[in-house]
Chains A and B, each alone.
Chain A
Amino acid sequence: MRLLSITNRYYLGLLIVLLVVWSALLFWVLRYEVYENIDEVLVYRKNLLIDQIKKKGELPVMDSYHDFTVKEINVVPSDFKDTFQDTLVHKWRKSYDEYRRITSYFELNKKFYQVSYTLPHMEQDEMIDTMAYTLPVFLVMLLIGYSVMVTQLNKKVWRPFYSILDKFNAFSLEAAKGIDFDHASVKEFRELQQGVKDLTDRSINSYLQQKQFTENASHEIQTPLAIIQAKLELLLQDDVTKKQSEIIGDVFSAVDRLSKINETLLLLTKIENNQFPEKAEIKIKPIVDDILPYFDEQATKYNIQVDVQIENEGSVETNVTLFSILIANLLKNAFVHNLQDGRIQITAKDKIMEISNTGPELNVQPEKLFERFYTQAAGKGGAGLGLALVKGICTINHWGISYTQTDGLHKIAIDYSVAK
């Protein structure tokens, strides 16, 4: 739910409750006022009438034009207090009007009289009707007005916030570009901007430093490695004893492994730095066909059936070098972690490429498999960088990659349909 929806919802709820309470209150107050008003008038008229009767000393003529009745009573009233009464008076066409009647008593020439005075007043129905007509109009106008105002106001007030949010969302550490905010006039937003800016700048900084470190370290390691390798090569041209040659051989392969790890780390850094910008439309099949022969020995030795089903693959727009590295590493992975009389299936269809192979069961979380230096198969000689490389290549191309294991079949699927 959006921030503005929450505030709007609460404001509207409050408004409706307030309006209902206020309507009820208004109704009661109005009714009270009407009664008080009519009762005052009735008391005044009654007193005026009694005064006139007493002054004249005789009863007035009563006919239907008058609103009062005066009649003599035989029983002495217990007190002379006024009593008020609501009454309905039949008018015409079956319609009744609400009237208010005052009943009072007075004494004249030792005789007691009862006087009642009746006046129409504003009715409850009419009041409710009036309110029922006017209030909703008022309410609707208020709500519309309120919504429009609040929406506009909120939009204006929260605009810097959403701008910050948008920029924060668009922020990518890999792009290593800081966020530039427009000046916000609200203090809190300025503080938020500053906070976000500090945080992202610091992240970029440490990201760049870390990347720079990897790159520098790898570069610096390369030259000494080159020297060691060259010296070893010179050394083995000399006549060496069997024992010495064995030692040199071991050193040689250790240096090789070291330089390979170094090279791969450097390659990973370069990939992450997006230093392979050249792209071309390429087809998967020729690349797979090119690389497969390099694994002939494996296929023969372990009797591995390789099944390539690539049809309607479409083309991939990517860097050729990186794509070849990707395929080579995936195939190597499929061959190295296979079984005697195993199987490898390579399919590409509808912009999804899948490489599956038979292999010993793996107890591994799929995400871990693509981490650097993750390796489970001891003695295979891999440093656990091949799949990290694959993952890195997929990431910069915005491709999806997934690993699944079913019935001893390991499958890595790459979804390269994502439009760049």
Chain B
Amino acid sequence: MKILTVEDEFNLLDSIQEYLMKENYECDGASSFREGVERISNNHYDCILLDITLPDGNGLKLLDQIAQRSESPSVIIISAKNSLDDKIAGLDLGADDYLTKPFHLSELNSRIKAVARRKGHKNHKHLVVGNVSFDLINNQASIDEEPINLTKKEFDILFYLADNRDRVLSKSTLVKHIWGDAIYQEESFNFLFSHIKNIKNKLRYRNALLSIRTVYGLGYQLRCDFREGV
């Protein structure tokens, strides 16, 4: 999958590219409106991450150009503006999702995958990690085709970890992802802890080839203990 990131803040552009390259995406970067236009007209991208506040033009105008292309890529707007006006304008103009700065790179990664799944770019309606498969339509996870009994939140946590497998996800990333901005609070971290504990137990009990590693003081990492072809 080929991804273009249009972001005028070099530091941020760099970090996004570094994170995404580890996911084995092919990554291009553009740090201005002009550069973005150039890249888009000369290359084909599956997904474009677009900052709409660029020094030399409004990123929303880039959306117009993108929409004119025959095979239009998915677009995720990343912006410091979180006004609903922009959000709606962006989504109306054909953007697929919207992330407000500051965001977690793992969240961005998840959104990219979700958009790709929605567009059916690859066979991604199901996610399979090791011997665990996730049915995204019924929110059901199974180990070796046998459903695991997970609560809605447990499923969301496990899926988010699986989507960002091998990455260390901070506790706050997970908490924000599960409870949302308006609801999460200090205690949510304790609740996350108990949910993870439950998930770990359920996975271990069913011999899943997945394990959740606790990174002390920081967060969690999902590892796949199953190597294909090994």
Contacts and interface: CB of A to CB of B under 8 A. Distances in A.
Contacts of B216: 242, 245-246
A256 B12 contact: no
A36 to B, nearest CB: 94
Contacts of B72: none
Interface in A226-242: 226-234, 236-237, 242
Contact of B84 (A237, A250, A321): A321
Contact of A332 (B19, B104, B167, B183): B183
Contact of B103 (A226, A228, A298, A331): A226
Contacts of B183: 291, 294-295, 328, 331-332
A248 interface: yes
Contacts of B19: 230, 233-234
Contact of A227 (B11, B152, B181, B191): B11
Contacts of A325: 182
A279 interface: no
Contacts of B83: 270, 275
Interface residues of A, number: 55
B218 A236 contact: yes
B102 A222 contact: yes
B82 A230 contact: no
Nearest to A380: B186
A256 B105 contact: no
A271 to B, nearest CB: 10
Contacts of A301: 191
Interface stretch (A165-173, A259-267, A406-414): A259-267
B12 A230 contact: yes
A332 B185 contact: yes
Interface stretch (B29-37, B120-128, B132-140, B169-177): B169-177
A259 B107 CA distance: 15
A245 B215 contact: yes
Contacts of A336: 185, 187
A256 B176 contact: yes
Given A223-B12, A328-B183, A329-B182, A250 B217 contact: yes
A17 to B, nearest CB: 68
A144 to B, nearest CB: 62
A71 interface: no
B81 interface: yes
A387 to B, nearest CB: 13
Interface in B77-130: 80-85, 88, 100-106
Interface in A345-402: 379-382
A321 B185 CA distance: 20
Interface residues of B, number: 47
A276 interface: yes
A contacts with B: majority SS: helix
A252 B188 CA distance: 15
Which among B101, B172, B182, B186 has the greatest number of chain A C-beta atoms within 10 A? B182
A227 B15 contact: yes
Nearest to A322: B84
A229 B102 contact: yes
B6 to A, nearest CB: 15
Contacts of B176: 256
Nearest to A238: B168
A59 interface: no
A235 to B, nearest CB: 9
Given A223-B80, A227-B9, A263-B100, A252 B185 contact: no
A297 interface: yes
Contacts of B9: 223, 226-227
A222 B7 CA distance: 14
A155 interface: no
Interface string B175-216: 010011111011110010010000000000000000000011
Given A325-B182, A381-B187, 12 more contacts: A226-B9, A227-B11, A227-B15, A233-B105, A236-B170, A245-B215, A245-B216, A246-B218, A247-B217, A328-B183, A336-B187, A381-B185
Interface of A: 219, 222-223, 225-234, 236-237, 242, 245-250, 252-253, 255-256, 259-260, 263, 266-267, 270, 275-276, 278, 291, 293-298, 301, 321, 324-325, 328-329, 331-332, 336, 379-382
25 contacts: A219-B80, A222-B102, A225-B101, A226-B80, A226-B103, A229-B103, A229-B104, A232-B170, A233-B19, A233-B104, A233-B173, A234-B19, A237-B167, A242-B216, A249-B219, A252-B170, A252-B172, A270-B83, A275-B85, A276-B84, A278-B84, A293-B152, A294-B179, A296-B153, A381-B187
